Amino acid sequence: MRTELIRPDASGIARAAALLRAGALVAFPTETVYGLGANALDASAVARIYAAKSRPSDNPLIVHVAGIEEIGRWAEPDERAWRLADRFWPGPLTFVLPSRGLLPGATVALRMPAEPTALRLLQAAGRPVSAPSANRSGRPSPTTAAAAMSEVGGRIEAVLDGPAATVGIESTVVDLTGPTPMILRPGDIDQRQIERVLATEVGHASGSRRSPGTRYRHYAPSVPVHLFAGGGDWLRRALAAALLAEPAAVYIGLAAAAPEGATGLLARDLADLQRRLYETLRDAERLQAPVIAAWPPASPEAAGVRDRLLRAAGANVTTEPSSVGEET
């Protein structure tokens, strides 16, 4: 299959929207990562997403909508959903809510993206759009059109050639179907932000069947990722020793923790680390270089990056001997 690269101008948006309405698959930019979109009202189109990504059939999809008012059209929201939407939509927050018949099953995950190109596409399509990340299942998510094309080119009809993602990791997913809000997947919007809006405690339930991207190994490049989980002097010594043993390794972490001579992603702050994480994993693949990664800060704001690095590393994690377990 030939995959068309579509310019994100008015005629290109109209072309991409027409393809979605006709049952085609279109990768498009959001502020988090590039999504692989299908008309959520077309079951056969949605099924094609799973085939294009080689995605397990029990891994749910997020439905993207063009406006806050669509929550009540496709789901059964309560006051908590409206309050969170008023504060964080459009943006990188997904709600899991009781479904109002959009998809088979008892729940639906909804998000309104903030990227202007994505919103124009959704408005032009006039349909809710199911869209996981536009990568083959388990791999680092694409944050540029070129990365999306390299992942799913030849498997889908089109890629909308928009801007690079500014957030860099997938949205926070919060389950609002029970009495206690539960974070199913951490992201850019953290637990404390949600708790401030809802004025209640929020729990965690990683690995839930209701959330995408949590039940299987994800975000892993084809080269090994070795994560060092600790802090202070121990972390610097461990990283220095690892990089000495692997001189071609690509470093990922904050610049403040980087040993002398490290190359790769020496992030100036957490936002920079998060935005460039997947791009750096892809660069390491191109170089066929192993990745040596530093444990991100233990703050709630870093939960999303910690989650992605832990999933990319799998069991390849060295923990500071004297450290106690950190919440991830």
CATH number at residue 72: 3.90.870.10
pLDDT, mean of residues 107-111: 96
pLDDT at 180 over 60: yes
Residue that is last in its domain, among 144, 173, 204: 204
pLDDT, mean of residues 28-57: 95
What gap in Å lies between CA 283 and CA 300, rounded to an integer?
Answer: 28
Burial degree of 246 (CB within 10 A; 0-12, 13-18, 19+): middle
pLDDT at 60 over 90: no
pLDDT at 47 over 80: yes
pLDDT at 323 over 80: no
pLDDT, mean of residues 68-96: 97
What tokens were used for 198?
Answer: 């809802």
| Residue 95 and residue 24 in one domain | yes
pLDDT at 326 over 80: no
Sheet holding 264-267, edge to edge: 264-267, 250-254, 291-294, 225-229, 317-319
213 inside domain: no
| Residue 23 and residue 140 in one domain | yes
Residue that is last in its domain, among 172, 204, 236: 204
Average of per-residue pLDDT values in the chain: 93
Beta-bridge partners for 266: 253
- pLDDT at position 108 is 94
pLDDT at 322 over 90: no
| Residue 187 and residue 239 in one domain | no
- pLDDT at position 217 is 59
102 inside domain: yes
For 208-247, how does the pLDDT look when each residue is reduced to its tens digit (9 = 90+)? 555 555 455 578 999 999 999 999 899 999 999 999 999 9
What percentage of the chain exceeds 70 in pLDDT?
93
122 inside domain: yes
| Residue 50 and residue 194 in one domain | yes
| φ, ψ (nearest 5 deg) of residue 313 | -80, -25
Number of domains in the chain: 2
312 inside domain: yes
| Residue 22 and residue 159 in one domain | yes
What gap in Å lies between CA 325 and CA 322, rounded to an integer?
Answer: 10
| Residue 123 and residue 26 in one domain | yes
| Residue 127 and residue 57 in one domain | yes
For 262-320, how does the pLDDT look when each residue is reduced to its tens digit (9 = 90+)? 999 999 999 999 999 999 999 999 999 999 999 999 999 999 999 999 999 999 999 99
- pLDDT at position 148 is 98
CATH number of 262's domain: 3.40.50
Residue that is last in its domain, among 171, 204, 237: 204
Q: What stretch of H or E contains 277?
A: helix 270-287
| Residue 57 and residue 200 in one domain | yes
- pLDDT at position 328 is 41
| Residue 147 and residue 30 in one domain | yes
Domain of residue 309, residue span:
225-319
| Residue 8 and residue 44 in one domain | yes
pLDDT, mean of residues 174-181: 97
- Sorting pLDDT into bands at 50, 70 and 90, what band is 55? confident
- pLDDT at position 210 is 56
- pLDDT at position 56 is 82
327 inside domain: no
- pLDDT at position 218 is 73
| Residue 229 and residue 199 in one domain | no
326 inside domain: no
The CA distances from residue 64 to 218, 229, 254, 301, 304, in Å, are 21, 35, 32, 24, 20
209 inside domain: no
217 inside domain: no
| Residue 111 and residue 247 in one domain | no
What percentage of the chain exceeds 90 in pLDDT?
88
Q: What angle do CA 297, 299, 303 make, to 5 degrees?
A: 85
